[in-house]
Amino acid sequence: MKLFSCLMALLLFLLQAVPGLGLPKDTLRCLGHHGFCSRSKSCPESFAAFGTCSWHQKTCCIDTSSFHTCQDEGGRCVPSEIKCLQEQAGLCPHREWKCCTEV
């Protein structure tokens, strides 16, 4: 019984010590954009919905005062294999995509 308790304590320590270990990919993506997971389908004022969290069960909310979506900035989200004539800053719903003003 002592051995089991020690192993469980070690496992809990590792889960806390290694950031992102055990978190779903959509949650890690949300946290990577400095967002938070909301149980509600809508986000609070000044936040925008940006995908999902917790295996598609929660909404990822991102602060729009510091980040802007691509469309808000007048751009279009395109896959990374498409060459942009002019690229700009802005969030796209797909991680691998980029924001372009001209394609």
Residue 41 makes CB contacts below 8 A (sequence gap 6+) with 49, 59
The listed CATH number (3.10.360.10, 3.10.560.10, 3.40.50.11540, 3.40.140.10) that belongs to domain 23-66: 3.10.360.10
CA angle 81, 35, 25 (to 5 degrees): 55
Taking the C-alpha atoms of residue 83 and residue 81, their distance in angstroms, rounded to an integer, is 6
- Residue 13 DSSP symbol: H
| Residue range 51-59: mean pLDDT, rounded | 88
What are the extents of the domains in the chain? 23-66, 68-102
CATH architecture of the domain covering 68-102 = Single Sheet (2.20)
Q: What does the pLDDT look like over 91-103, one tens digit per residue?
A: 776 767 888 887 5
Of the pLDDT bands very low, low, confident and very high (cuts 50, 70, 90), residue 62 is confident
pTM comes to 0.48
